[in-house]
Amino acid sequence: MAILITGGAGYIGSHTCVELLNAGYEIIVLDNLVNSKIHTLDRIKEITGRNFRFYKTDLLNKAEIQSIFLENDIEAVIHFAGLKAVGESVEIPLRYYHNNITGTLNLCEVMNEFDVHNMVFSSSATVYGLQEQVPLFEELPLQATNPYGRTKLMIEEILRDVYVSNKNWSIALLRYFNPVGAHPSGRIGEDPNGIPNNLVPYITQVAVGKLPELKVFGNDYNTHDGTGIRDYIHVVDLAAGHVKALEKVMSSSGVIAYNLGTGTGYSVLEMIEAFKEVTGQAIPYQIIERRPGDIGISYADPSKAKKELNWEAQKGLYEMCSDSWRWQMNNPSGYDVEVKEQENLSVTPL
Ligand code: NAD
Ligand code: WQD
């Protein structure tokens, strides 16, 4: 019996593959590599010393998903695959709706067909929308403020309807806060295309000298230093949360949402200061106007995940910064460096 990981070559997916393999699970990775590199898979194998099957498959291709279910004995799916750039989703909403929603519909249809009803889904704290009330807890009313967020909200609702239609389904909706950091080995991490949208990869690229300075989006929020506060969570903690959620869905039924956050918020200036200390590098920055659509404060109430999944984040700000930095230093051009250095690198078939 195996766990299918859609989007398993991506940032959070790759770290979750490591945790699952280390916990003894057999995994199968499906990814179309639209936002990831095949070399990630060899690094997962290197870290864990374990092998697994990889399918370069697009979730929009239903026949290929069916073949994967035919060839393998799958008992649960962890569904990461999706497009995730908020700004891009405003520019090309149809691509986001089609990719994220049609992809999920195809996956659910095939799961139904093969009688597989256990799913852990990557939702996002973005489903809480513009609420200023903190901490954010699972029962708050939900809203979306951009097409990307709307795909997450719609998929949550679709999955609730799917459960109503067939009570065999067991689904965990994991609402991630702000994932940062990298595996402590420095071998896998976040490898954004082009100029990063998110704070932490932007800071590490400034620290390593790839980008001249950080633009801080506003210092007039109602926070202690005026800059935005977020609940940054180490990606390895997040990955461990998936193992717990998987155990939960495989032993129950229903649709349950869980926040995966630390419950602690840090401001942009506190993040800059922490990175300065950890890296020993100057992080030049300039305060500019607010980024449209941003909220002042967002952090989780993580108590439901602690109570029901027996999970809580273990890693603090120091590890978030030092692991992000190690990954950046060891892989200044992301996974591309290895492509040049190891031309013969390939994915070992099982
Ligand atoms: P990522 O882009 O690194 O990983 C997503 C993976 O899905 C990529 O490897 C991509 O190639 C693959 N993919 C996309 N569309 C596909 C398709 N149609 N068929 C097959 N593969 C496809 O992103 P991530 O940061 O690892 O995020 C994973 C999930 O978590 C996403 O659903 C994202 O929306 C969600 N999420 C991410 C964050 C974050 O800040 N990183 C926060 C909240 C939620
Ligand atoms: C964090 C803080 C910015 C960049 C986004 C998505 C969300 C989720 C996670 C997927 C904010 C400030 C940032 C910069 C800055 N993704 N900032 N200068 O906006 O909380 O969440 O990623 O689900 O949907 O919206 O994360 O890292 O972009 O920003 O000052 O160059 O850093 O204003 O306060 P965000 P972020």
Cβ < 6 Å from ligand 2: which residues?
84, 86, 124, 126, 178, 197-199, 202, 214-217, 228, 230, 268, 291, 294
47 lines ligand 1 (CB under 6 A): no
261 lines ligand 1 (CB under 6 A): no
Q: Domain 2-348, CATH 2.70.160.11 — does that match?
A: no
- Cα dihedral 96/97/99/100 (nearest 10): 100
Complete edge-to-edge strand list for the sheet that includes strand 53-56: 53-56, 27-31, 2-6, 74-79, 118-124, 170-176, 254-260
Rounded to the nearest angstrom, the distance between the alpha carbon of 277 and the centre of ligand 1 is 31
Q: Where are the domains of the chain?
A: 2-348
The atom of ligand 1 lying closest to the CA of 34 is 11
Q: Tens digit of pLDDT for each residue in 271-301? A: 999 999 999 999 999 999 999 989 999 999 9
The atom of ligand 1 lying closest to the CA of 152 is 34
Rounded to the nearest angstrom, the distance between the alpha carbon of 139 and the centre of ligand 2 is 23
Active site residue 202: no
For a ligand 2 pocket test, name from 96, 198, 268, 299 the mutation site with the most ligand atoms within 8 angstroms of its C-beta.
198
User: Which residue is catalytic, options 148, 176, 221, 335?
Assistant: 148
**Helix, coil or strand: residue 25:** coil
Rounded to the nearest angstrom, the distance between the alpha carbon of 23 and the centre of ligand 2 is 31
pTM for the model stands at 0.96
The full DSSP string for 67-107 is HHHHHS-EEEEEE--S---HHHHHHSHHHHIIIIIIHHHHH
Other C-beta atoms within 10 Å of 70: how many?
11
**Contact indicator for 117, 68 with CB cutoff of 8 Å:** no
pLDDT value at position 341?
Answer: 44
Q: Could you give the CA distance from residue 349 to residue 317 in angstroms, rounded to a whole number? A: 38
pLDDT value at position 337?
Answer: 52
Rounded to the nearest angstrom, the distance between the alpha carbon of 20 and the centre of ligand 1 is 18
**Contact indicator for 271, 45 with CB cutoff of 8 Å:** no
Sites in the chain below the pLDDT cut of 70: 337-350
Q: Tens digit of pLDDT for each residue in 302-344? A: 999 999 999 999 999 999 999 999 999 999 989 985 444 433 3
pLDDT value at position 280?
Answer: 94
* Strand bridging mode 214-217 / 285-288: parallel
**Contact indicator for 239, 47 with CB cutoff of 8 Å:** no
The atom of ligand 2 lying closest to the CA of 84 is 10
For a ligand 1 pocket test, name from 80, 95, 102, 188 the mutation site with the most ligand atoms within 8 angstroms of its C-beta.
80
78 lines ligand 1 (CB under 6 A): no
- Find the distance separating the first CA and the last CA of the chain, reported in whole Å: 15
